[in-house]
Structure 1
Amino acid sequence: MSKNLMADERRSLLIEYLTKHQRATVKELSLELQVSEATLRTDLNLLEEEGILRRIHGGAVLVAQQQVVPAGSSFSFSAREKKNTDEKAAIGQKAMDFLQEGQCIMIDASTTALELAKSLKRTQIKLTVITSGIYTALELKDNPYLHVILIGGVLRMGSGAIEGTLGAGILGEVRADLLFTSPAGFKPDSGLMDFNVYEVELKRRMVESADRVVALIDSTKFNVGSIASYAQSGKIHDVITDTGTPPEMIRQLEESGIRVSTVRAQR
């Protein structure tokens, strides 16, 4: 394993190891990830502050939140769905401009992507839609113009997403024209990030199976870190955001070759 892992990738691997083994010592993790014990203690302290693990003498254990997201948690689908609703709706509506007859598109399980599904609900554009979102699939199921494919996997309490890669084999059989995805956070040096390591791996595969990646990012998510990156900035082709995003961030995205569309939320 590389000794030069980026911090978000290292923390993702750390959580994956704890998920498999339930608990681990700092020495054990140092050998597994091939990084210093001092670096690991910094990672563990940060993850404990974020409520993802609990420090114990000489090591750490994963807390239940990472395995099952409680319905009242700020990370749960229902809680996230209530945040920045006007901005998300405007972003979802703008995403409709990217669609053309006969495309195969992928939509992740994010609450922002669900707003795109709500706009798609009555479209007369013929599309194949592949999604990892339970609620997204339910929004689209009655539209005769849409052929909807739900990726199989594990459904966890408090989540609207299919997690894991049990049904991800379909992604190796298709090539999507577009992926619409929304992260928990975005930083230029880390790209699109999410807090759920199970969902991150599926999102990575979705990115690799798409010709074009359209990131739906409301202004509150910029310069916000999370556990693991699933798409570096170089993998992103388009960003749709709202007018609350700082001009310097938009300029930075455009200078890196990303096309940015900005929408105004309707209050």
Structure 2
Amino acid sequence: MLSHTRKNKILEILKRHKQISTQELEKQLSVSGATIRNDLTQLEEKGLIKRIHGGAVLPERESKNSFRSFHKRSEKNVEEKKAIGKVAKNYIENGQTIILDASSTVLYLLPYLTQYEKLTVITNGIYTALELKNEEDFNVILLGGIVRPKSGSVEGLIGSCMLNDISANLMITSAHGFNVKNGLTDFNFYEVELKKKMVEKSDRLIAVLDHTKIGHTSAAQFASSSEIDLLITDSQINDKDLKEIKDSGIEIIIGK
């Protein structure tokens, strides 16, 4: 089992049980104690778990934030997400093929898409696809794979294979975290692999991130800072983060 797959399994186990012993992880994953301890150390360094004597627990903030349902997430920072969506719409053109991730931030872009014609929209977001299902002038493609019920996203190799024969003009995506050093990051390793493929198949990458996502990092990178063509955020971004992004050469626009 690959390292990133094993770590994701650990997170999935903790999501279900909240606490697990090192010995139990050894049994479930069929690896040595040294390997498990190394994985737990790396996950703790990322802030995704908390080590305890003989095992690990899911941090309180992870159980409340990383795995909160899609609808609860979509109700956070609503005005900021609306402002971001209003800016992002200006970078879409009639007839384009665009890739959208399953984020709640992208959901606030969707009402603006109706002003465009003949769009092909490719997404791993179930709620995104449902929101656009009645747009007769659009081709809406929902990538196949394993459904994550709480987030409403689809992940896995099936979606990656579908993307092999697709070329997109533009990808618009959010992330669990972003900083200049680590780029766009997420905590789910399977979704990260799918997003890497989405980035690869897109001519242009726009990151839509409310201020709470900036200055933080998660478990794995799906796009480096150099791959981002445009970053759109809201007016609550702090001066330090804004300066760091500008100094890095990333084009940034603040939605108001």
TM range (shorter): 0.7 to 0.9
- Number of matched pairs: 237
From 194, 198, 209, the counterpart of 1:217: 209
2:105 is aligned with 1:112: yes
1:181 maps to what in 2? 173
Alpha-carbon contact 1:237-1:257 (below 8 Å) kept: no
Q: 1:202 aligned to 2:184? A: no
1:96 aligns with 2:92: no
Residue of structure 2 equivalent to 1:43: 42
Superimposed CA distance per residue, residues 28-55 of structure 1 (whole angstroms, 9 cap, x where no aligned partner): 358xxxxxx5xx56325446x644x776
> Where does structure 1 differ by over 6 angstroms across 4 or more consecutive aligned residues?
69-73
Structure 1 pair 238/128, CA: closer, same or farther in 2 (3 Å)? same
Distance 1:171 1:117, change over 3 A: same
Q: Is the 8 A contact 2:180 2:248 kept in 1?
A: no
Matching residue's letter, 1:193 = T
- For 1:7, the equivalent position in structure 2 comes to none
Which residue number in structure 1 is paired with residue 22 of structure 2?
Answer: none
Take 1:96 and 1:127, find their aligned partners in 2: how far apart are those partners?
13
SS in 1 for 2:7: helix
- 1:235 counterpart residue number: 227
Contact 2:100 2:121 in 1 (8 A): yes
Structure 1 residue runs without a partner (length 5+): 1-9, 31-36, 64-68
CA drift of 1:16 comes to 3.8
CA distance in 1, matches of 2:210, 2:218: 15
Query: Of the candidates 120, 137, 142, which is equivalent to residue 128 of structure 1?
Result: 120
Structure 1: which amino acid aligns with 2:223? A
Task: Quote the residue 2:247 is aligned against.
Answer: 255
Q: What letter matches 1:116 in structure 2?
A: L
When normalised by structure 1's length, the TM-score is 0.78
Unaligned runs of at least 5 residues, structure 2: 14-24
Q: Distance in 1 between the 2:147 and 2:123 partners?
A: 14
For 2:156 and 2:53, the matched residues in 1 are separated by 28
In the aligned structure 2, how far is the partner of 1:169 from the partner of 1:141?
23
Task: Give the root-mean-square deviation of aligned CA atoms.
Answer: 3.0
2:141 is matched with 149
- Which position in structure 1 is the counterpart of 2:18? none
Shift, 1:123, TM fit:
2.1
- 8 Å Cα contact 2:163-2:198 kept in structure 1: yes
Are the equivalent residues in 1 in contact too, given 2:40–2:51 (CA < 8 A)? no
**2:8 and 2:188 in contact (8 A); partners too:** no
Q: Percent identity?
A: 38
Shift of 1:108: 0.3
State the TM-score, normalizing by the size of structure 2.
0.81
User: Residue by residue, what CA displacement relative to the aligned partner does 1:188-240 show, whole Å, maximum 9, x if unpaired?
Assistant: 11111112222111111101111100000111111112121111101111001
Verify: 1:172 aligned to 2:164, yes or no: yes
Instruction: Give the residue type in structure 2 aligned to 1:107.
Output: L
1-side partners of 2:117 and 2:112: how far apart?
Answer: 12
Aligned to 1:3: none
Return the alpha-carbon distance in structure 2 between the equivalents of residues 71 and 151 of structure 1. Answer: 28
Change (3 A) 1:261 1:194: same
Amino acid at match of 2:126: I
- In structure 1, the residue matched to 2:35 is 28
Q: Quick one: structure 1 residues 71 and 142, their matched pair in 2 at CA, closer, same or farther if it must change by over 3 Å?
A: farther
